[in-house]
Chain A
Amino acid sequence: DTAVSQTPKYLVTQMGNDKSIKCEQNLGHDTMYWYKQDSKKFLKIMFSYNNKELIINETVPNRFSPKSPDKAHLNLHINSLELGDSAVYFCASSRLSEDYGYTFGSGTRLTVV
């Protein structure tokens, strides 16, 4: 049973397109996150939701819009894709007491051509 699952695993698309990445967790966690990992492996948080409510929104272009239909799902929609959006996007989840750390999905490699 996969704890945090993301789909798709790979996504290749043209500039200007709109795409979505889905994330689901079956751990009963309250909080979910999106992180972006660039080509140098640097990880930066994008968004965080707690019980469907947005609590962190880092400096991310408006083209990126997270949606959380329930606390087990956090999807990421990206409009008007640009070359610089190419990266690996990781979904993660945690309990309310975050000292336990995060559980990460296996990532979605987005390539914009």
Chain B
Amino acid sequence: GDSVTQMEGPVTLSEEAFLTINCTYTATGYPSLFWYVQYPGEGLQLLLKATKADDKGSNKGFEATYRKETTSFHLEKGSVQVSDSAVYFCALLYSSASKIIFGSGTRLSIRP
């Protein structure tokens, strides 16, 4: 079945470090791909998305590129801040399936 695999956390970085959170997916067609972020005590917020191969989603300094050949959608940021500390979820969606499938989440902690 369709699934999403994320790198296990927690990931701990110093402020201004470069961030990569790996995400790969298994799917039979061409789903839309998303990154959601969950700050402590809050619900999930859409961070960025890409709906077709080679699309790059970006928001708040974060980027991810839809790579069909490697079935990946890795999240990157050039210089992280303490305020980026949160849990990040990679997800996929088929319009026909009517549900988003989430990865297991990666907790990110940024040290001042």
Contacts and interface: CB of A to CB of B under 8 A. Distances in A.
Interface of A: 4, 31, 33, 40-45, 48, 50, 55-56, 90, 92, 97-107
Contacts, number: 61
B43 A90 contact: yes
A48 B98 contact: yes
Q: Which 7 residue pairs of A and B lie closest in terms of their CB atoms, listed nearest first?
A: A104-B43, A41-B105, A43-B102, A104-B44, A106-B43, A101-B46, A45-B99
Query: Interface on chain B toward A: helix, strand, loop, or mixed SS?
Result: strand
A40 B45 contact: no
Interface residues of B, number: 24
Contact of B49 (A31, A90, A99): A99
Given A31-B98, A101-B36, A106-B43, 14 more contacts: A41-B38, A42-B104, A45-B100, A45-B101, A55-B98, A56-B99, A92-B44, A98-B32, A98-B95, A99-B32, A101-B34, A104-B45, A105-B43, A107-B42
